[in-house]
Chain A
Amino acid sequence: MACALLSVFTTLGIVVALLQPTIEFFSSVGVGEFFTGQVWAPLFASAKFGVLPLVTATLVVTGVALAVCVPLGLGAAIYLSEYASRRARRILKPVLEVLAGIPTVVYGFFALTFVTPLLRDIWPFARPPDIFNALSAGLVMGVMILPTMASLAEDAMRAVPDSLRHGALALGSSRLQVSIRVVFPAAVSGIVAACVLAVSRAIGETMVVLIAAGGTPNLTLDPARTMQTMTAFIAAAGFGDQPTGSVGYKTIFAVGATLFVATFAINAISIRLVRRFRQAYE
Chain B
Amino acid sequence: MSAAAETLASNTARRRVKDIVFRSGLLSCVAVGVIALVVLLVYVASKGAPRLNIDLLTRFPSSLPKRAGARSAIWGTVWIVGLTAAMCLPVGVAAAVYLEEFADNRRWWNRLIEVNIQNLAAVPSIVYGILGLGFIVRGPLGLGPTVLAAALTLSLLVLPIVIIASREALRAVPTSFREGALALGATPLQAVRTQVLPAAVPGIATGAILALSRAIGEAAPLLLVGGITFITFTPTGLDSQFTALPIQIFNWISRPQEEFKILAAAAIVVLLVILLLMNSVAIWLRNRFEKRW
Contacts and interface: CB of A to CB of B under 8 A. Distances in A.
Nearest to B28: A75
The majority secondary structure among interface residues of chain A is helix
Interface in B58-115: 91-92, 94-95, 98-99, 102-103, 112-113, 115
Contact of B125 (A3, A6, A204, A244): A204
Q: How large is the interface on A (under 10, 10 to 19, 20 to 34, 35 or more residues)?
A: 35 or more
A159 interface: no
The majority secondary structure among interface residues of chain B is helix
B189 to A, nearest CB: 13
B29 A79 contact: yes
A76 interface: yes
B208 to A, nearest CB: 14
Contacts of B117: 4, 7
Contact of A234 (B92, B126, B264, B265): B126
A268 B27 CA distance: 32
Contact of B44 (A110, A241, A253): A110
Interface string A201-239: 101111100110000000000000000000100110011
B230 interface: no
Q: How large is the interface on B (under 10, 10 to 19, 20 to 34, 35 or more residues)?
A: 35 or more
B163 interface: yes
B160 to A, nearest CB: 7
A179 B265 CA distance: 42
Given A79-B29, A256-B126, A263-B123, A109 B44 contact: yes
B138 to A, nearest CB: 5
A211 B250 contact: yes
A92 B27 CA distance: 11
Given A83-B26, A103-B216, A10 B119 contact: no
Given A17-B134, A110-B44, A207-B219, A197 B30 contact: no
A83 B19 CA distance: 11
A268 B120 CA distance: 10
A206 B130 contact: no
B115 A271 contact: yes
B30 A10 contact: no
B29 A113 contact: no
Contacts of B99: 4
A10 B156 contact: yes
Contact of A143 (B18, B32, B94, B261): B32
Interface in B137-185: 138-139, 156, 159-160, 163
A259 B44 CA distance: 32
A205 B112 CA distance: 26
A75 B224 CA distance: 37
B130 A203 contact: no
B124 A206 contact: yes
B220 interface: yes
A108 B272 contact: no
A71 B249 contact: no
B250 A113 contact: no
Given A76-B26, A206-B220, A238-B224, A105 B249 contact: yes
A197 B113 CA distance: 20
A99 B276 CA distance: 11
B1 interface: no
A18 interface: yes
Interface in A13-49: 13-14, 16-18, 21
A18 B250 contact: no
Nearest to B29: A75
A109 B34 CA distance: 18
Given A14-B131, A106-B268, A207-B220, A174 B18 contact: yes
A172 B171 CA distance: 40
B18 A267 contact: no
Contact of B113 (A8, A71, A207): A8
Given A3-B98, A96-B33, A103 B220 contact: no
Contact of A235 (B18, B102, B220, B261): B220
Interface of A: 1, 3-8, 10-11, 13-14, 16-18, 21, 71-76, 78-80, 83, 92, 94-99, 101-110, 112-114, 143, 146-147, 150, 174-176, 179, 197, 200-201, 203-207, 210-211, 231, 234-235, 238-239, 241, 244, 252-253, 256, 259-260, 263-264, 267-268, 270-271
Given A14-B131, A204-B123, 9 more contacts: A7-B95, A7-B117, A97-B279, A103-B217, A106-B44, A106-B249, A174-B15, A179-B22, A204-B127
Interface of B: 15-16, 18-19, 22-23, 25-30, 32-34, 36-37, 39-40, 43-44, 47, 91-92, 94-95, 98-99, 102-103, 112-113, 115-120, 122-131, 133-135, 138-139, 156, 159-160, 163, 210, 213-214, 216-220, 223-224, 226, 246, 249-250, 253-254, 261, 264-265, 268, 271-272, 275-276, 279, 283
Task: Return the 9 tightest CB-CB contacts between A and B, nearest first.
Answer: A204-B124, A103-B217, A75-B29, A79-B26, A238-B224, A17-B134, A206-B220, A3-B95, A3-B94
